[in-house]
Amino acid sequence: MHRQHKRRLGYLYTFVFGCAALLALALAFPAFAQDGLKPVGEEWYIPYTFDGYGVSIGAMADSADGRKVYCMETGELVSYDVSHAQSIPDSQLARSIAWLTQHYRNTANALTQAGIGIIIHDAYDLNPAVWKLRKETLNDTHPETIVRAQQLLMEATSNTATGANLNMTYEVGRRRGYIDVTVKGPQGVNVANVPFTLKFEGPAVFVSGGTSTFSATSTSTARRVYWTATGTGDVKASVSYEYGTIEQLVSNQDYVRFATVKAAAGADLNFAVRKEFAPTIGTTVPHRIIDEGDQVLDTVTSGISAGDVWEEGVQVKALGYYFDSLKHGDLGNVIHPQSNESVTSYLARLSALGYKPSGYGTALFDAPNRSVQVKATTKPDGSEPYRASANLGIGTWVWVIDHSQQETLTKEFVVKDVLSDFLEIAETVSIRRKLIVDSSVTEHAATVGSELSDVITISGFPADSGTFKGNTDYGLQADLPHAEVQVFWSGSGNGGDDEPYKPDASDLPQVDAHHELVGSWKYAATNSTIKVGAGAPDMLGDPVHIIAGKPGYYVFVYSFSGDARTAPIHSSYSDAWERVRVQAFADPVPVQATIETHAEPSKVKLGESSYDTATVTGTVPEGSYLTFSAFAGDQQTGTIDMNEPVLEEFRVDLAADLASQTVMSSRVIAANVGSLQWKATLWTPDGVILDSHELGLEEEITTIVSRAPENADDEPDESERKPAAAKELAHTGVSMISVFGILAIIALISGMVMVSIARTWREK
């Protein structure tokens, strides 16, 4: 057992000794194990003799990853034992040497490698005095190495990056642009093939890749990098570029080799970007004054805020709201949108003030400086045209660009609502009412020397006509105070045939040998019924007399020249109601049929019917006829609405062989409290008026009352309940006493018969 124990101890000593030997071996070759340096071939250096010894210049060894190692300590023995590596401080020369060692790391050219070695010794040799002597020897024995070293240093300098510059240019407003990147060398020249990275901080990205980071390599000219804004704000652009570093390997003879790549900060810059753009709306109405019944138009023009650029392919929708029923007194009360107010809030604020739109419009734009004419419709995006009404006074447009109503793409670029003023001058119109004129001469036939007269009923003027003083800011004229009635004569002028000069055109005639202006008179521009002639006063209170001085045709013409609230008008020159045929004294005056009229009943309740009757006395030509018309009268003002007749020209044909005949109109249902104003006209087959009467005759008015009268006075009395035949007709022609007398006798006889029958019944 003792021998076995000793044997075991021997094994243990052997193991420990072996481990110690291996450890000593590892410590003896630390650099080789760590860096793997190994000698290079003869193609990597140039040998030469110095002071009787063989030495070399060029790459001394090869690292495991292929990096070449160059001597930096002249006079020391070559050793591949490296204890550690340490960084060599950054400098322009260090970057140039790093570029050389990397650029030529695979170039097995002894002269080039010798040139690199010379540059490194010149820059970093730890024994500069010794190196100086050796360099002199090289210059004597191998001058080409010195020349090559100079060439290589120049090459390296031109490829050494020492800075990077940025230059930004806007291309599309502040929405898009580009940055030119240049990497600079020591002499300020551009250095190519240097990797760089450009970064953004802020609302912008690079077009290539769509991110805020862009990497590429430099070129001999500026490298252009395009960007686009993602919002609005400031952007900081910064650039970094790469450069090489070198390190010192500490050994018996120290070495230099390429170390790694680092990034250096170049220039940076700040710039403002704005993705969105702010469109504007320019609008103006084509006409400041429009007439009742006209379509409401507006001209809308797209624009853009200063400095902004309309994005190509973006369509902007503008919405128009037309407000009516404003008063002329509202002019000048402009309402402005509040700061950052939304469309919804703005319209709600207007609505709270009593302003609600009645018409709507839409305009689409894909670029600035585009104009479209918009026609108002009755509904948003509708097709039915909105038309101006007589009672709507002032109208005005408001235009908006509502962010919420835009397409998805548009919302990216148009981020705020755009609003226009309410009652803006350029967007405001005055609606002119159309006048309705109904008139009839007192006699349609007369002789020379007769006094002529006319009764004219005018409706359509504003109830406060004459009160509007105008508004120069809005370009609106004040109410005109007067209208005019003119009387024209036409005829042969020499006692001949006047028929060729019978008025047959609407326009007023030119004064000549066959047409004369008899006179003109002014009357108040109000809703009224006026009598012209027969001593009735004009506007100034002067009596008017119109005497037929010679045979021919005399025509009354009512005219109003128009203002901001009432449209111009002149009655037709060929209007048969307004024409009198005057014969010479010697001419026989033909017997002319006449009419007497009466409305039945004179008072009705809402929902009940009434009608008009007319008795024609005298024979009429074959084909003659009567027409009945009815107009609504306002309960409060008494004005007659002649815009929309309740019954219009209801025709009843007449018999030609009867000396007297009575006809009636169709029945009219009472729709509104007020009155019905009736008018009957007797016509020949060729459209000549034989007889008529003016509106407003007491016998031609049906009063309409509520179905729930407040007192008994509202009920029609017994006389009003009697049939039409028992009432006296309006006297507008020949008397009908004889007709009524016959009817009365028949009624008396009928009564006596009924009394007799009753007595007989009681006696039985």
Closest CA to 45 of 65, 68, 28, 22: 68
Residues 6+ apart with CB under 8 A from 529: 455, 456, 457, 458, 694, 695, 696
Strands 445-447 and 579-583: parallel
Q: Which pLDDT tens digit goes with each residue over 99-132?
A: 999 999 999 999 999 999 999 999 999 999 999 9
Beta strand pairing call for 482-490 and 515-524: antiparallel
Report how far apart, in Å, the C-alpha atoms of 207 and of each of 30, 178, 198 are: 52, 9, 13
Residue 236: enclosing H or E segment and its boundaries? Answer: strand 232-251
Strand partners, 675: 633, 703
Quote the percentage of the chain above a pLDDT of 70.
Answer: 86
8 Å CB contact between 553 and 503: yes
**Of 278, 474, 300, 286, residue with least CA distance to 398:** 300
- Dist CA 254 CA 132 (whole Å): 17
Q: How confident is the model at residue 36 (pLDDT cuts 50, 70, 90)?
A: confident
**Between 444 and 223, the higher pLDDT residue:** 223
Over the chain, what is the mean pLDDT? 87
Note whether 490 and 551 are within 8 A (CB).
no
Token pair listed for 739: 């007709």
Pick the closest to residue 393 from 347, 330, 484 (CA basis): 330
Asked whether the beta carbons of 459 and 641 are under 8 A apart, the reply is yes
Two structure tokens written together for 386: 């909105």
Residue appearing with tokens 């490829």: 159
Distance CA 720, CA 154 (A): 128
> What is the structure's pLDDT at 638?
66
pLDDT over 90, % of the chain: 74
Whether the predicted pLDDT of 27 surpasses 90: no
* CB within 8 Å of 741: residues ≥ 6 apart: none
110-124 and 128-141 are packed helices; what angle lies between their axes, rounded to 10 degrees?
150
Mean pLDDT (whole number) for 268-293: 96
For residues 420-430, average pLDDT: 97
Alpha helices by DSSP H, listed for 578-710, are none
What would the two tokens of residue 675 be?
A: 């009155």
Query: Which tens digits make up the pLDDT trace of 178-206?
Result: 999 999 999 899 999 999 999 999 999 99
* Crossing angle (nearest 10°) for helices 143-158 and 128-141: 110
Residue 381 C-alpha from the chain's centroid: 13
pLDDT in tens, 673-682: 989 989 898 8
Rounded to two decimals, what is the model's pTM?
A: 0.68
Which of the four pLDDT bands, split at 50, 70 and 90, describes residue 709? low
pLDDT tens-digit readout, 356-400: 999 999 999 999 999 999 999 999 999 999 999 877 789 999 999
Identify the burial level of 351 via C-beta atoms within 10 angstroms of its C-beta, where 0-12 means exposed, 13-18 middle and 19 or more buried: exposed
Residue 176's Cβ-side half-sphere holds a number of Cα atoms within 13 Å equal to 13
Q: Which two tokens stand for residue 749?
A: 């006889």
**DSSP letter assigned to residue 636:** T
Can you give 560-588 as a three-state secondary structure string? Answer: ECCCCCECCEECCCCCHHHEEEEECCCCC
The two three-digit tokens of residue 325, written as one number: 């029923």
How far from each other are the two terminal CA atoms of the chain, in whole angstroms?
Answer: 182
Q: Whole-angstrom Cα distance, residue 333 to residue 184?
A: 65
DSSP, collapsed to helix, strand or coil, labels residue 179 as strand
The H or E element that residue 139 is part of is helix 128-141
- Helices 110-124 and 143-158 cross at an angle (nearest 10°) of 80
pLDDT, residue 397, reads 98
Q: How far is CA 494 from the centre of its chain?
A: 66
Q: pLDDT per residue over 231-244, tens digit each? A: 999 999 999 999 99
The whole-angstrom separation of Cα 670 and Cα 632 is 9
pLDDT band at 642 (very low <50, low <70, confident <90, very high): low
Determine the average pLDDT of the residues in 414-424.
97
Q: What is the DSSP string of 297-359?
A: EEEEEEEE-TT--PPTT--EEEEEEEEEEE-GGGTT--BPPPTT--HHHHHHHHHHTT--EEE
Cβ-based burial of 757 (10 A; exposed 0-12, middle 13-18, buried ≥19): exposed
pLDDT exceeds cutoff 50 at 597: yes
